[in-house]
Chains A and B, each alone.
Chain A
Amino acid sequence: MIQIKNVSKVYRNDTVETKALDDVAFEIKKGEFVAIMGPSGSGKSTLMHILGALDTPTSGTYILDGEEVGKLSDDKLAEIRNKKIGFVFQAFNLLPRTTAMKNVMLPMVYGDVAKSEREARAKKYLEMVGLGDRMQHTSSQLSGGQMQRVAIARSLVMDPAIILADEPTGNIASNQASEIMAIFQDLNEQGHTIIMITHEPDIAEHAKRIIHIKDGKIVKDSDKHSQRRAK
Chain B
Amino acid sequence: MEFGEILSEALTALTINKMRTGLATLGIIIGIGAVIALISLGQSGQKAVESQIQSLGSNLLTVIPGSPNSGGIRQAAGGLTTLTYDDAKAITTSATVTDVANVSAELSRRAQVTSGKNNTNTQIIGVTPSYLTVHNLSMQSGSFIIQRDVDSLGKVVVIGPQVVSDLFGDGSNPIGQTIRVNKLALKVIGVTASKGGSGFMNQDDMVFVPLTTAQKQLFGVDYLSAISIQAKSDKVMTDAQDQVGYLLLSRHKIGNPAQADFSILSQQDIMGAASSITGTFTALLSGIAAISLVVGGIGIMNIMLVTVVERTREIGLRKALGAKKKSVIQQFLVESIILTMLGGVLGMVLGMVLSVAVSKIINLPFVISFQAIALAIGVSGGIGILFGWYPARKASNLSPIEALRYE
Residues of A near any B CB (own CB < 8 A): 49, 52, 54-55, 74-75, 78-79, 81-83, 87, 89, 93, 95-97, 106-107, 109-111, 115, 154, 158
Contact = CB atoms under 8 A, between A and B. Distances in A.
**How big is the B interface, by class?**
20 to 34
Interface of B: 1-2, 5, 16, 313-314, 317-327, 400-401, 404
Nearest to B322: A82
B321 A82 contact: yes
B297 to A, nearest CB: 28
Contact of A78 (B1, B16, B322): B322
Contact of B16 (A97, A109, A115): A97
Contacts of B400: 54
A78 B404 contact: no
Contacts of A54: 320, 400-401, 404
Chain A, interface SS category: helix
B405 to A, nearest CB: 9
Contacts of B313: 93
A110 B404 contact: no
A197 B2 CA distance: 35
B324 A78 contact: yes
15 contacts: A74-B325, A75-B326, A78-B323, A78-B325, A79-B322, A79-B324, A81-B319, A81-B320, A93-B313, A93-B317, A93-B404, A97-B16, A110-B321, A154-B321, A158-B322
Contacts of B324: 74-75, 78-79, 110
Contacts of B320: 52, 54, 81, 87, 93
Contacts of B323: 78, 110
Contacts of A106: 318, 321
Contacts of A81: 319-322
Given A82-B322, A87-B321, A93-B320, 10 more contacts: A54-B404, A75-B324, A78-B325, A83-B322, A89-B404, A93-B404, A106-B321, A109-B1, A110-B318, A110-B321
